[in-house]
Structure 1
Amino acid sequence: MSISTQSDSSPGSVASAAGDRLGTELRRPPILSLRFFAVWQRNFRVWRKLMLPSLLGNFGEPVLYLLALGYGLGQFVGEVEGMSYMVFLASGIVCSAAMTGATFEALYSAFTRLTQQQTWAAMLAAPMNVDDVVLGEIAWAATKALINASAIVLVAALLGLVAGPQALLVLPVILLAGFAFAGIAMIVTAISPSYDFFLYYFTLVMTPMLLLSGVFFPLESLPGAVQIGAQCLPLAHVVMLVRPLMTGGAIDAPILHLAVIVGYIIATYWLSAALARRRLVR
């Protein structure tokens, strides 16, 4: 009598096992420790060697947008929300610079360290876990966002586009926002098979968020349904906090805006750490 057996490595069983494993990873919260600072410190030391070209690359494009659109388009637009278009745009460019700075660092640089340089593998050989590495990468990307945005705030102040010293309160908001944007990008990094995969994120997420979050024009000029959708995007809430701080206006519902940003930080770190563990821990 012959007995037939079915291999456990069939596509269905493999997919089911992968799904169960991801579910287990998602339910387990990340393990927080101060070991992430070693990752941040390592990335800072590497960046310090290439600081000047890095600053020029990340700082030049936002300033160009500010000057070209502010002076050029501003001649046709006039005033927006009771202020010159140049003043209105400056706060939006600060927010977009934070988003792009954190995103590029958490995508291209982190993916290079993960795959090409195998830096993550080397760090995991130390007394450090995946959660530490992911948080360190996110923290460093948030720092890059703060550096880029601070440079734009300085330029805006020199051009007379800042209302007063309360604009310094923009910096902690930008740092928080950097954690949120870096967390979103780290999710993409954790699942990306190659650099080309990042184009999906830029086309489907980052570009719509940039255009629909009040960076270049007020949200009120958009259709009602689009305005509601924009409230789900972290960049919109960052703009709603940063613009009044830079222009001297009052902030509507600051607790709500901060809660959305912090919610993104927690959710994206949790998910990106789970996805990275699934990718790296066999």
Structure 2
Amino acid sequence: MWENYAAVLPANGWNWTAMWRRNYLAWKKAALVSILGNLADPMVYLFGLGTGLGLMVGRVEGMSYIAFLATGMVAASAMTASTFETIYAAFARMRDQRSWEAILYTQMTLGDVVLGEVAWAATKALLAGTAIAVVAAILGYAVWSSIPYVVPVIALTGIAFASLAMIVVALAPSYDYFIFYQTLILTPMLFLSGAVYPVTQLPGKVQQMATFLPLAHAIDLIRPAMFGRPAADVMFHLGILFIFGVLPFFVSTALLRRRLMS
């Protein structure tokens, strides 16, 4: 029985870096295109909604609407970048390219492979989220000194959503099924977590629902920090993001082991 558990756990604290490095070497050949692609969607939201609705909405929670939206897009871009890297690129490496199968013939366990994939997706999230934060600071929608504080939160957000997406990878028969995760989970989460408008404007029941969404906790940490304000319940928000990063990781590795052995 121990062998079954050991197969889904990382063998040690450094094997996963080989998987991370493999993905990095493949990515850097098209790094610029990849970064621009990750920036496109949140920038459209930022300038499209921010400038358009901003003229009608005015100020939100003591800041301009475009500044409010910019802080939400930092967390949203981390969510999107890590999720898409996992459900498309990692899925391709597992099923189509069969890279995982080859790697598992080495001393690496499935836990090492999954941890490396999650860490790489979090790296992509870190690049995307930090880029949006820098753009917001350049445009005057955030303070420069806030960026070092939000970077760890962006990375933790990437880990949380990559772990969740890895469960989808383990369960989805094909790429066609990922659209359900995007439209039924990610898109509603974007609008219910305070990225586009304040959670306080939602009905009471929906506000309670938002407390269970990882994106809401990321935004509650990132938004105050980007304006140099103290965040409330920091350890609580970090703890929720940590749980979303750890528990889905073990669930996904167990599901992936069953899938790869079938």
* From 223, 227, 233, the counterpart of 1:243: 223
CA contact (8 A) 1:87 1:247 kept: no
Residue type of the partner of 1:253? D
**Structure 1 residue 31 displacement after superposition:** 3.5
CA offsets, 1:73-125, max 9 Å, x none?
10000000011111111100001000000000010001110111111111111
CA distance in 1 between counterparts of 2:164 and 2:64 reads 33
- 1:232 to partner: Cα distance: 0.3
Asked whether 1:198 is paired with 2:178, we answer: yes
Is the deviation greater in 186-195 or in 272-281? 272-281
* In 1, Cα distance between equivalents of 2:35 and 2:230: 32
Residue 142 of structure 1 contacts residue 178 of structure 1 at CA under 8 Å; is this kept in 2? yes
Matching of residue 158 in structure 1 with residue 138 in structure 2: yes
CA distance in 2, matches of 1:51, 1:29: 31
Q: Which residue, 20, 27, 46 being the options, matches 1:47?
A: 27
Provide the residue aligned with 1:188 in structure 2.
168
* Structure 2 CA distance for aligned equivalents of residues 197 and 27 of structure 1: 30
Query: Could you say which residue in structure 1 is the equivalent of 2:250?
Result: 270
Matches within 5 A, 1:82-161: 82-161=62-141
2:9 and 2:109 in contact (8 A); partners too: no
Cα deviation, residue 25, structure 1: 6.6
1: distance between equivalents of 2:144 and 2:117? 33
After superposition, the Cα gap between the structure-2 partners of 1:139 and 1:44, relative to the gap in structure 1 and judged at 3 Å, is: same
- CA offsets 1:166-213 (integer angstroms, 9 cap, x no match): 232100110011000000000000111100111121122111111100
Determine whether 1:30 maps to 2:2.
Answer: no
Measure, in 2, the Cα distance between the counterparts of 1:231 and 1:84: 25
Structure-2 separation of matches of 1:153 and 1:197:
32
Amino acid at match of 1:226: V
Q: Which runs of 5+ in 1 are unaligned?
A: 1-20
Aligned mates of 1:56, 1:150 — CA distance in 2: 13
In the alignment, the residues of structure 2 paired with residue 191 and residue 247 of structure 1 have an alpha-carbon distance, to the nearest angstrom, of 40
How far apart, in 1, do the equivalents of 2:240 and 2:104 lie?
Answer: 32
Counterpart-to-counterpart distance in 2, 1:260 and 1:27: 26
- Of the structure 1 ranges 60-69 and 241-250, higher mean CA displacement relative to structure 2 is found in 60-69
Amino acid at match of 1:73: L
Aligned to 1:69: 49
Partners of 1:188 and 1:102 lie apart in 2 by: 13
SS of structure 1 residue aligned to 2:80: helix
Alpha-carbon deviation of 1:28?
A: 8.9
Cα displacement string for residues 116-171 of structure 1 (whole angstroms, at most 9, x for unaligned residues): 11111111111111111111101000000000011111111110111340232100
Point out where structure 2 has 5 or more consecutive residues left out of the alignment: none
- The 3 A distance-change label for structure 1 pair 25 and 77 is farther
**TM-score (ref. length: structure 2):** 0.95
Contact 2:129 2:154 in 1 (8 A): yes
Q: Secondary structure at the match of 2:107?
A: coil
CA RMSD of aligned residues (A): 1.8
- Give the deviation of 1:71 after TM superposition: 1.2
Amino acid at match of 1:274: A
- Distance 1:26-1:32 versus aligned 2 partners, 3 A rule: closer
SS of 2:212's equivalent in the other structure is coil
Aligned match of 2:60:
80
Q: Aligned AA for 1:103?
A: T
- Residue type of the partner of 1:280? L
Matched AA of 2:161: F
TM-score by length of 1: 0.88
1:280 offset after TM fit, Å? Answer: 1.4
State the one-letter code of the partner of 2:19: V
Identity percentage over the alignment?
47
